[in-house]
Structures are given as structure tokens and as C-alpha cells.
């Protein structure tokens, strides 16, 4: 079983080993196969953070469009609690 220097299992190293088991002609290092094929590479943390922030902003835009749609169509009323919800909730716990 492949592990990190501190003894923990490295799932991506295990995946790399499994892939190399089925593609033995590859000259890649078994331990780094997954990282070399699917990672941004060493020293590219800034690029990864930029993509992460881009995804955050896209998620925020989609959420904002959703909220605007709820307010514009009046569908927000369906998500507000009704008076009977509190009574039903207490009966559920009793």
C-alpha cells in the first residue's frame, strides 16, 4: 500500500498504482501518476486558487439570479413557514 512519509494512505498514489497496473508500458513514476496527469503541477497554487475563486463567483451569480427569480415571481412565499408548521413540529417531537 502506498503511503505518505508520515504513514498516511495516499489515495491518489493508490489510484496511480492501479492505473499503471493496467498500463504497464508507461514510464511515469507509479507514485506520481495521478498528480502528473490531473494536477496543475508543482508551484501552481495561485492558478488553482484563481480557478477556485472563479467557481465561487459563478456560484454566487447563479444564487443571485435564483433569488431574483424567486422575488420577481412571488415564489418566495412557498418557502416561508406557515403558522401550522410550528404546531406540527412540536407534535412531531412529542
Q: Which residues of 41-68 are buried (b: 16+ CB within 10 A; e: fewer)?
A: eeeeeeeeeeeeeeeeeeeeeeeeeeee
pLDDT at 48: 81
Q: Is the pTM of this model over 0.75?
A: no
Which one of 8-12, 35-39, 57-61, 89-93 scores highest in mean pLDDT? 57-61
8 alpha carbon, distance to own chain's centre = 22
Taking CB atoms within 8 Å and a gap of at least 24, the contacts of 61-69 are none
Amino acid at each position: 500500500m502506498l503511503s505518505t512519509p508520515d504513514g498516511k494512505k495516499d489515495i491518489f498514489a493508490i489510484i496511480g498504482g492501479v492505473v499503471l497496473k493496467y498500463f504497464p508500458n508507461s514510464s511515469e513514476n507509479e507514485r506520481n501518476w495521478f498528480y502528473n496527469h490531473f494536477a496543475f503541477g508543482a508551484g501552481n497554487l495561485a492558478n488553482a486558487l484563481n480557478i477556485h475563486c472563479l467557481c465561487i463567483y459563478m456560484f454566487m451569480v447563479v444564487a443571485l439570479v435564483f433569488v431574483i427569480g424567486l422575488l420577481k415571481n412571488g415564489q418566495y412565499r412557498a418557502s416561508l413557514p406557515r403558522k401550522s408548521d410550528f404546531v406540527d413540529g412540536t407534535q412531531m417531537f412529542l
